[in-house]
């Protein structure tokens, strides 16, 4: 293997790979990136056995070959060298030489045969999705994906195709986020659970084109340009989320999103790390946010709003509310409420999505 490649091209492909490779693993090869040179392209691959990423870039290939190199150290070297072109050469079995300007490195690697075989997803039933649409949808719901490994069926989002539409739903049991958008060419099919790590890596992609989506019995493929992310479909049954969304919340309050977010964050400064809760008290045209902690003190924030119902008090985790507000791209938001024991449902006012909402369960204070 001998190849010359632009340093900028190398960095463009190596940086996204870092989110896939496993830093702490009992399988050493999972901390490596597979490099393969052939047909005037340098190909890259990384995997943690559940999520894999492949890509390639233009290169001058003098001789074909492949090697797996330690991902983080290889990136550090390419970042550190100053030359615009990098010369890679496999001089001896298991050792890669890196020349760039006056710099010369030799790093140990692993045989490409030791790298796991990556899953392939057939091209049958491929669907084209505007990537900007999918990336925006992920940003709307990813904060609600559970991080508790014991609740594995909630460690991802439900991706569901409808006739002419795409829906993403996530919940951690305390809150739920749902977004739906129009998508031409989509036909109704059973939902699939996309793992949180795959969603996070898709958010890091940068492209304005169309993403090609495919699925097989056990895997999903997301191809954007020369990059392809393949992930294992999460097993388990996702909750019946439509039943969670209350249809009886008859009280509505409209707020300036930025003002509400800042007021909640200020009040939350005097909540404890374990008891993260603020009280929202609504009266006609006014919201009072309070927080109290016996060790720290008390905080009170007042905010004007559009509300004409009876007085209502409800306890809420401030982080959950702020996460929702951060995902909204409208100036105003609406909270639908019923009483202190019933969930709060947040909506953007005049948002661009076909449907977007966030359900937040109440807290007792």
pLDDT tens digits in sequence order for the chain, 365 residues long: 999 999 999 999 999 999 999 877 789 999 999 999 999 999 999 999 999 999 999 999 999 999 999 999 999 999 999 899 999 999 888 899 999 999 999 999 999 999 999 999 998 889 999 999 999 999 999 999 999 888 888 999 999 999 999 999 999 999 999 999 999 988 988 899 999 999 999 999 988 899 999 999 999 999 999 999 999 999 989 999 999 899 999 999 999 999 999 999 999 999 987 778 999 999 999 999 999 988 889 999 999 999 998 999 999 999 999 999 999 999 999 999 999 999 999 999 998 899 999 999 999 87
Q: Which residues contact 236 (CB under 8 A, 6 or more apart)?
A: 152, 153, 193
> Which pLDDT does position 149 carry in this prediction?
82
CB 190 within 8 A of CB 162: no
Architecture field, domain 245-360: Roll (3.10)
Q: How high is the pLDDT of residue 361?
A: 96
What is 2-114's CATH superfamily? DNA Polymerase III, subunit A, domain 2 (3.10.150.10)
Residue spans in the chain of domains classed CATH 3.10.150.10: 2-114, 128-167+190-238, 245-360
The CATH number, out of the four listed (3.40.50.10860, 3.40.470.10, 3.10.150.10, 3.40.50.11540), of the domain defined by the range 128-167+190-238: 3.10.150.10
Q: C-alpha angle 290/291/294, rounded to 5°?
A: 140
Q: How long a stretch of residues is the chain?
A: 365
Q: Name residue, tokens 């983080």.
A: 72
Q: How close are the terminal C-alpha atoms of the chain, in Å?
A: 65
Per-residue pLDDT, 153: 87
Nearest residue to 336 (alpha-carbon basis) of 258, 277, 255 = 255
- CA–CA gap between residue 356 and residue 347 (Å, rounded): 6
Specify the residue for token string 């997301």.
Answer: 222
Cβ atoms of residues 229 and 153 within 8 Å = no
């Amino acid at each position: 293997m001998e190849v010359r490649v632009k340093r900028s091209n190398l960095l463009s492909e190596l940086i996204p790979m870092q989110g896939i490779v496993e830093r702490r693993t009992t399988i050493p090869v999972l901390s490596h990136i597979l490099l393969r040179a052939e047909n005037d392209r340098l190909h890259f691959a990384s995997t943690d056995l559940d999520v894999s990423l492949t890509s390639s870039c233009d290169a001058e290939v003098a001789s074909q070959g492949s090697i797996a190199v330690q991902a983080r150290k290889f990136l550090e070297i390419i970042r550190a060298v100053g030359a615009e072109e990098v010369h890679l050469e496999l001089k001896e079995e298991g050792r890669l030489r890196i020349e760039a300007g006056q710099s010369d490195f030799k790093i140990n690697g692993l045989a490409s045969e030791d790298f796991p075989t990556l899953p392939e997803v057939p091209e049958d039933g491929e669907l084209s999705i505007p990537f900007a649409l999918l990336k925006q949808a992920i940003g709307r719901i990813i904060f609600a994906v559970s991080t508790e490994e014991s609740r594995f069926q909630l460690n991802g989002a439900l991706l569901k195709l409808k006739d002419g539409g795409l829906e993403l739903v996530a919940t951690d049991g305390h809150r739920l986020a749902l977004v739906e958008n129009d998508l031409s060419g989509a036909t109704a099919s059973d939902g699939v659970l996309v793992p949180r790590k795959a969603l996070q890596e898709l958010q890091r992609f940068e492209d304005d084109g169309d993403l090609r989506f495919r699925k097989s019995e056990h895997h999903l493929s997301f191809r954007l340009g020369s990059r392809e992310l393949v992930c294992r479909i999460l097993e388990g049954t996702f909750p019946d989320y439509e039943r969670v969304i209350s249809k009886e919340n008859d009280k509505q309050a409209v707020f300036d999103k930025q003002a509400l977010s800042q007021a909640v964050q200020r009040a939350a400064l005097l909540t404890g790390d374990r008891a993260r809760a603020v009280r929202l008290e609504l009266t006609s045209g006014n919201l009072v946010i309070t927080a109290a902690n016996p060790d720290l003190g008390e905080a009170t924030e007042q905010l004007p709003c559009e509300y004409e119902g009876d007085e209502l008090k409800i306890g809420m985790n401030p982080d959950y509310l702020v996460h929702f507000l951060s995902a909204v791209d409208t100036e105003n938001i609406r909270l639908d409420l019923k009483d202190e024991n019933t969930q709060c449902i947040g909506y953007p006012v005049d948002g661009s999505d076909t449907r977007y909402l966030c359900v937040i369960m109440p807290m007792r204070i």
